[in-house]
Amino acid sequence: MKPLARLSLRFRNFLFFALLAMMSIGATLGALYIGYLRVGEVGVASGFIFAGVMAFFAQLAVTASIWFLFDENIARPIEKLAVSLRAKVHAKAGGIDAHEGRYLGDLVHATASVAEQLSNSTLVQASEVAQETAKLNADKARLTALLSDIPLAMVLISPNHQIVLYDSQAAGILSQVSPPRLNASIFEYFQEGPFMKAHKKMVETGSEQKFSDRSAHFAFQFEARIKPLDSGDGYMLVIDETQAEFAPEAARPVVFDFDLMEADSTTDLWTADLNDLTFVVFDTETTGLQPHKDEIVQIGAVRVVKSKIIAGEEINMLVDPGRPIPPASTKVHGITDAMVNGADTTIPATQKLHSFAIGSVLVAHNAPFDMAFLHNHEKEAGLSWDHPILDTVLLSAVLFGRTEVHTLDALCERLDVEIPPELRHTALGDAHATAEVLCKMLAMLQSRGISTLSEAVAEAKTHSRLLKDLN
């Protein structure tokens, strides 16, 4: 086959179909000859009927053989080349396999050349981004130092009442109601009535307004104030030191994404752009592989907002399964009975995950397995796991084809995502790796014209024979 690699793609296509024609003609002539030889035994009509049947099956076999050669040497390599190029451009991962496309003529070399040029451009851009990131980190450090001298808890809120920024002091207060989260509605933490009354007055007067509120879940009550921003975009919620125990001398890290200030409120997750959605990527470690009788021993989760993993917004908790952990399971995830002693049991642990995932799309690798454990205690915990769900196994099949390997390790290798060995088979480590994979997949999905959640789920459902879609 090596000489064929030097032929042009068009000429190889001609050879395929020429071979198909010649073999079909040969099969037909051979069948007619055999039929002719049988004429003396079975009669003219029967002989030609026999020849026709033989010709039919012979041409079917010839067509199948040529199709196999065409699929193996041209169609499949072209498909893999397209996937590799998309991964290189949109996920900044992988490379062009010249051996895989060795019979595609100049196409594979031209693609590799384009990919190399893109890589060089990406390196230049990455250098510029790194410089800007260093400046942003320096600004963030200065902001943290400044906040450390101010005895206030602050939350920056968008015009759509979504959280854009919060400091650690505010996080400590908000966490009494629900985990603090970027892009979460402020009304998850405060009653809408008193809050909006003060907000309306702030808009009318253009000045700071105080209000007294018992939180949305009635966990605590305090005095707060909201004030407009000079830019006119959004507003700030301030809680002074008399309402909480602050440590002004402590570092005050902030969590923020100013892009959220201009984001539209996402009311219909199914029709929203994938880049505008909030995802909670989670993983569980368990006592075994049978959800109907095993239990969760660890939950890890991270949040992805606007296709970016939000540092600091994560769950990493051990769970007491209420039963001994088998040694075989401990060998996989390293969690022992002593480690889970005194940890939350399954119900409060799943309630925390549920609060963390309000208004989000749930994402897991092999979601039916993890979701089965959550559904086991759904009624007992008073929860409804009715979130939209994306499964990175099915998304991998959409992007790379059903015949590829879709394990988490294979995906990470394909998309240049590294899982430190000590974090593999830990809930948070696997959740973080899955989140990195998801971020790269979102860019690749959009490059294929799949831009909304409903479109992504529809594509995933076409691979339901591989794994059940839970939506």
| Domain end call among 262, 294, 310 | 262
Does one domain contain both 256 and 282? no
Average pLDDT, the chain: 82
Per-residue confidence (pLDDT) for residue 163, from 0 to 100: 93
Domain membership of residue 94 as a residue range: 2-114
Does one domain contain both 41 and 171? no
Distance CA 187, CA 352 (A): 18
Does one domain contain both 279 and 423? yes
Does one domain contain both 192 and 216? yes
Per-residue confidence (pLDDT) for residue 1, from 0 to 100: 46
Q: Which mean pLDDT values do the consecutive 10-residue runs of the chain (471 residues) have?
A: 58 75 80 71 67 75 78 78 76 68 65 67 62 67 58 84 88 84 90 89 90 69 82 80 51 76 77 93 95 95 94 93 94 94 95 94 96 94 94 94 90 90 90 96 90 94 89 86
Does one domain contain both 376 and 227? no
Per-residue confidence (pLDDT) for residue 14, from 0 to 100: 76
Helix H, strand E, coil C: the string for the chain is CHHHHHCCHHHHHHHHHHHHHHHHHHHHHHHHHHHHHHHHHHCHHHHHHHHHHHHHHHHHHHHHHHHHHHHHHHHHHHHHHHHHHHHHHHCCCCCCCCCCCCCCCHHHHHHHHHHHHHHHHHHHHHHHHHHHHHHHHHHHHHHHHHHCCCCEEEEEECCCCEEEEEEHHHHHHHCCCCCCCCCCEHHHCECHHHHHHHHHHHHHHCCCEEEEEEECCCCCEEEEEEEECCCCCCEEEEEEHHHCCCCCCCCCCEEECHHHHHCCCCCCCCCCEHHHCEEEEEEEEECCCCCCCCCEEEEEEEEEECCEEEEEEEEEEEEECCCCCCHHHHHHHCCCHHHHCCCEEHHHHHHHHHHHCCCCEEEECCHHHHHHHHHHCHHHHCCCCCCCEEEHHHHHHHHHCCCCCCCHHHHHHHCCCCCCHHHCCCHHHHHHHHHHHHHHHHHHHHHCCCCEHHHHHHHHHCCCCCCCCCC
Does one domain contain both 255 and 330? no
Tokens linked to 166 = 């919060």
| Domain end call among 114, 138, 173 | 114
Per-residue confidence (pLDDT) for residue 249, from 0 to 100: 47
Does one domain contain both 254 and 289? no
Does one domain contain both 105 and 34? yes
For the beta sheet containing 278-286, the strands, ordered from the edge strand earlier in sequence to the opposite edge, are: 344-345, 308-320, 296-305, 278-286, 361-364, 389-391
Per-residue confidence (pLDDT) for residue 334, from 0 to 100: 93
Distance CA 66, CA 58 (A): 12
Residue 321 exposure: Cα atoms within 13 Å on the Cβ side: 26
Does one domain contain both 202 and 280? no
The total number of structural domains in the chain stands at 3
Per-residue confidence (pLDDT) for residue 143, from 0 to 100: 59
Per-residue confidence (pLDDT) for residue 330, from 0 to 100: 94
Question: For residue 239, what is the domain's CATH number?
Answer: 3.30.450.20
